[in-house]
Amino acid sequence: MTVNDIDVATHRVALSFEDGVTRFVTCREDQTVADASYRQRINIPLDCRDGACGTCKAFCESGRYDGGTYIDDALSQDEADRGFVLPCSMRPRSDLVLQVASTSEVAKTRATTYAGTLVGLERLSRTTVEIAVEIPNRGELAFLPGQYVNIAVPGTDVSRSYSFSNAPHEERLTFLVKLTPGGAMSTYLDERAAVGDALSFTGPNGSFFLRETDRPVLLLAGGTGLAPVLSMVRTLSAASSERHAHLVYGVSTDEDLVALDQIERAAAGLANLTWDHCVADPDSTAANKGYVTSLFGPEHLHDGDVAIYLCGPPPMVEAVRTHVS
């Protein structure tokens, strides 16, 4: 029997670069992450290949692995205890997410451009549109829940960044778009867009994504910042996660309040998830008038042992940071 006759488990490794680009490689349990990366033409920093120099040092965000052998000068015990790894020595035992200490350009890779078709265009409110895109060979696009892509605006030379609202396993790609008067994407969606249009986008990008741990989760979304949070909730639901989670969704006015039915459906399969929403406008008809900070308390912070995911307009982000601190 040869090595090729043995069924060796394979895992997906996400390489998150300093410039926000994320690339995925498939790695066998009998391969080092560095070997798998180079075989798939992603040249992460590397000199020695045997744990002697530390050039490839990275940080493991999530996942299980065999760290392999290396010398202390390359990776100290303290660093290893804190989650630092050497891709030239480590072998995966589950899917992994690694922070790579270089840019994608240094690694001679870049975010991929995908050509797709606009298959859904729904006006959720006067201020918000949901678009749906399908691409051929959907399996070639991998992303982490919370990440975004840069969508080229048809008929222009500009692109705009939008987070996935669908889960990574779902075939159809969906995005929430805040309509801005005079904005390039807003003008396209308002005046020219039609189902069947060609759309291209580049990605995935971003270090804002759901980490695979067992810690409780606090999800705070403002406006169309709901999109990446929806992706996270849908991912947790697909995994039948038992993590304790609390979601708060806040908007400025009643007409900004969208996708409550989508939240309800996504949350339905999660016994340990609670959620609520609020509207800042004092003249709102919503049950909760105010800001997201009014709808979570110490019981949702778990004495600091909580993963907080926050996405919304800058004033909201700053208010939450002040409130939590």
pTM: 0.83
Token digits for 149?
Answer: 């892509």
Residue 156 pLDDT grade (very low, low, confident, very high; cuts 50, 70, 90): very high
Q: Which whole-number Å values give the CA distances from 89 to 96, 225, 235, 282, 290, in the listed order?
A: 14, 38, 31, 58, 51
Residue 6 has pLDDT above 70, yes or no: no
User: How confident is the model over 286-316, as pLDDT tens digits?
Assistant: 999 999 999 999 999 998 899 999 999 888 8
From-to residues of CATH 3.40.50.80 in the chain: 217-324
Lowest mean pLDDT among 105-109, 140-144, 182-186: 105-109
Compute the distance between CA of residue 157 and CA of residue 164 in angstroms, rounded to an integer: 22
Compute the distance between CA of residue 16 and CA of residue 25 in angstroms, rounded to an integer: 11
Can you name the CATH fold of 3-100? Ubiquitin-like (UB roll) (3.10.20)
Compute the distance between CA of residue 290 and CA of residue 279 in angstroms, rounded to an integer: 6
Token digits for 188?
Answer: 């396209």
Token digits for 199?
Answer: 């759309």
Cα 245–248–253 angle (5° rounding)?
165
pLDDT of residue 17: 93
Average pLDDT over every residue of 202-228: 92
From-to residues of CATH 3.10.20.30 in the chain: 3-100
Residue 2 pLDDT grade (very low, low, confident, very high; cuts 50, 70, 90): very low
Residue 120 pLDDT grade (very low, low, confident, very high; cuts 50, 70, 90): very high
pLDDT of residue 1: 43
| CATH pick for 112-205 out of 2.40.30.10, 3.10.105.10, 3.30.465.10, 3.40.50.970 | 2.40.30.10
DSSP codes, 77-135:
HHHHHTTEE-TTT-EESS-EEEEESS-TTTTT--PEEEEEEEEEEEE-SSSEEEEEEE-
Compute the distance between CA of residue 209 and CA of residue 225 in angstroms, rounded to an integer: 13
pLDDT of residue 5: 47
Contact 236, 213 (CB under 8 A): no
User: How confident is the model over 28-72, as pLDDT tens digits?
Assistant: 999 999 999 999 999 998 888 889 899 999 999 999 999 999 999
pLDDT of residue 3: 47
User: Is cis: bond before 228, omega within 30 of 0?
Assistant: no
More confident residue, 226 or 104: 226
Residue 126 has pLDDT above 90, yes or no: yes
Contact 112, 197 (CB under 8 A): no
Contact 13, 98 (CB under 8 A): yes
Average pLDDT over every residue of 202-207: 89
CATH no. of 217-324? 3.40.50.80
- b vs e for 247-278, b when ≥16 Cβ sit within 10 Å of the residue's Cβ? bbbbbbeeebbbbeebbeebbeebeebebbbb
What three-state secondary structure class fits 324?
A: helix
More confident residue, 116 or 213: 116
From-to residues of CATH 2.40.30.10 in the chain: 112-205
Compute the distance between CA of residue 277 and CA of residue 43 in angstroms, rounded to an integer: 45
Q: Which of 245, 132, 249 is nearest to 197 (CA)?
A: 132
Q: Which whole-number Å values give the CA distances from 310 to 227, 246, 249, 293, in the listed order?
A: 11, 12, 10, 12
User: How confident is the model over 160-202, as pLDDT tens digits?
Assistant: 999 999 999 999 999 999 999 999 999 999 999 999 999 999 9
Token digits for 158?
Answer: 């500009």
Residue 211 has pLDDT above 90, yes or no: no
172 forms bridges with which residues in the sheet? none
More confident residue, 111 or 149: 149
Average pLDDT, rounded, for the chain: 93
